[in-house]
Structure 1
Amino acid sequence: MSNKSELKRVRALHQKKYREEEGVFLVQGVKLVIELLASGWPVEAIHATVTAAPHVRHPQLQIWPDYDVERMGTLEHGNEVVAVVKRPDRSQFAPLGIDELVLALDGIADPGNMGTLLRIADWFGVKRVLCSVDCVEEFNPKCVQASMGSIFRVELHRVHLPRMLDELRSAGVSLYMATMEGEPVFELELKRSGVLILGSESHGPSDEVRALKAQAISIPRVGGAESLNVAAAASALCMEFLRQRLAP
């Protein structure tokens, strides 16, 4: 493939349509590509400037003029390296393990929030995340950047969420749903394994998910703020799950 054709192809991967058609996505920036290489995910190509190349050594590394690499990437600044990466196959979701918390994301629309949620999951040791089919694509460049490498360590499964949650509940898994009206989480004894459901930024969980009647939990409010960002709420709730799990 000529340089011109490859440049055109990589730029096309800025769009979801072409990422899905080819089964690949972009990872950008030296730090994130280093995280990628450490993860062992299959890399199709790495396009780097001569300055960035020594930091991202790989059999598929190609050195390009700075101007071309800049055009390949979506970042406002610092497009020194752009990797084309194959998407993983995650069709199977195994039963929950002992002391395992899983996040279930329902209708998350903002790619920055999605990436931050993956980063939060990674921080608190959450290895798997479920997301509804209407969640923003996890391979959106803004989501990949916001995850800060956590996308390579946290398994994300895109599923028909109400059906999956119903199946998990039938199997005896405890379901917790973050809502404004729920019981204060600090007053509850949480199960050591379970699923924490987080709804969309604007509307919360969907009616189908609410109909499952999961245990509604909330974060106590002391001040006058109307609500918390979904990522901020996830962080506080994950911390309480972890605190209770580690308590003697």
Structure 2
Amino acid sequence: MSTRLEWRAVRALHQKKFRQEQGSFLVQGPKLIAELLASSWRVRAIHVAEGAAHDFPRELVQVHPPHELERMGTLESGNTMIAVAAMPAPMPIAPLQEDELVLALDGIADPGNMGTLLRIADWFGARRVLCSTDSVEEFNPKCVQASMGSLFRVAVQRCDLPRELDRLRAEGAALYLASMEGDDAFTLRLQRPAILILGSESHGPSPAVRGIGARIIAVPRAGAAESLNVAMAASALCMEFLRQARTL
């Protein structure tokens, strides 16, 4: 492939349509590329600016003038290393483990929030995240960056979320829905296996998800702030799940 065609192929991955057509997405910057290489995910190529120091496998590296790399990436500046990774094949949703915590994301629209939620899941030991089909794509470049490598360690599974939540409850999962109007999560005995449901940033969970009958829980408020960002709420609630798992 000529340099010009390579450049156009990488640039096309800025758009969801072409990411899905090619089954590929961008991983940008040395830290995230190192995380990618340490994972089991397939790497198609690593595009590197001339003169940039690296220790990537030589068979994967393609070198370009710095001005070409700058335009290949989505970062505002500093596009010196860009990997093209293959999307993993979808996996069936496995039965829950006895002490498992799973995040369920319903209509999350902001890619930065999505990436941060994957990072939170990774930090607190949630090894998989269920997503409604209308949630933002986890391979969006902003999501990949915000996940800080957690995308490669947390399984993201898209599904008919209300149906899957009903099925998992039948398997014995406790369902918890995060909301400002819920019961104080810090005073409850949180059960496991558990599904923590987090709704859209703008309008909360969909009517179908709200109607499944999950226990509604909230982060207790001591001040006057109107609300918490969905990722902030997720972090506080996941921390309480972890605290209880360790102490109760």
Assess same fold via TM > 0.5. Answer: yes
d(CA) in 2 for partners of 1:202 and 1:143? 18
d(CA) in 1 for partners of 2:40 and 2:61? 15
Q: In 2, are the aligned partners of 1:98 and 1:192 still within 8 Å (CA)? A: yes
Root-mean-square deviation (CA), in Å?
A: 1.0
Q: In 2, are the aligned partners of 1:28 and 1:73 still within 8 Å (CA)? A: yes
Sequence identity (%): 63
d(CA) in 1 for partners of 2:81 and 2:26? 10
Q: SS of the residue aligned with 2:41? A: coil
> How many residue pairs end up in the alignment?
248
> Once the 2 structures are TM-superposed, how far is the Cα of residue 169 of structure 1 from its aligned partner?
1.2
Match of 1:232 in 2: 232
Q: In 2, are the aligned partners of 1:30 and 1:52 still within 8 Å (CA)? A: no
Match of 1:41 in 2: 41
Q: In 1, are the aligned partners of 2:174 and 2:192 still within 8 Å (CA)? A: no
Q: SS of the residue aligned with 2:37? A: helix
d(CA) in 1 for partners of 2:100 and 2:58? 35
Q: Which runs of 5+ in 1 are unaligned?
A: none
For residues 71-98 of structure 1, what are the alpha-carbon distances to aligned partners after superposition, in whole Å with 9 as ceiling and x for unaligned? 1100001101111110011231101112
> Once the 2 structures are TM-superposed, how far is the Cα of residue 120 of structure 1 from its aligned partner?
0.6
TM-score calculated relative to the size of structure 1: 0.97
| 1:13 pairs with 2:27 | no
| 1:122 pairs with 2:122 | yes
Q: In 2, are the aligned partners of 1:30 and 1:55 still within 8 Å (CA)? A: no
Q: Which runs of 5+ in 2 are unaligned?
A: none
For residues 91-128 of structure 1, what are the alpha-carbon distances to aligned partners after superposition, in whole Å with 9 as ceiling and x for unaligned? 31101112110000000000000000000111111100
Q: In 2, are the aligned partners of 1:30 and 1:56 still within 8 Å (CA)? A: no
d(CA) in 1 for partners of 2:130 and 2:136? 12
| 1:76 pairs with 2:76 | yes
2:37 counterpart letter in structure 1 = L
For residues 141-197 of structure 1, what are the alpha-carbon distances to aligned partners after superposition, in whole Å with 9 as ceiling and x for unaligned? 000000000000000001110111011112221100001111100110011311000
Match of 1:57 in 2: 57
Q: In 2, are the aligned partners of 1:119 and 1:150 still within 8 Å (CA)? A: yes
Q: SS of the residue aligned with 2:59? A: coil
Match of 1:164 in 2: 164
TM-score calculated relative to the size of structure 2: 0.97
Match of 2:243 in 1: 243
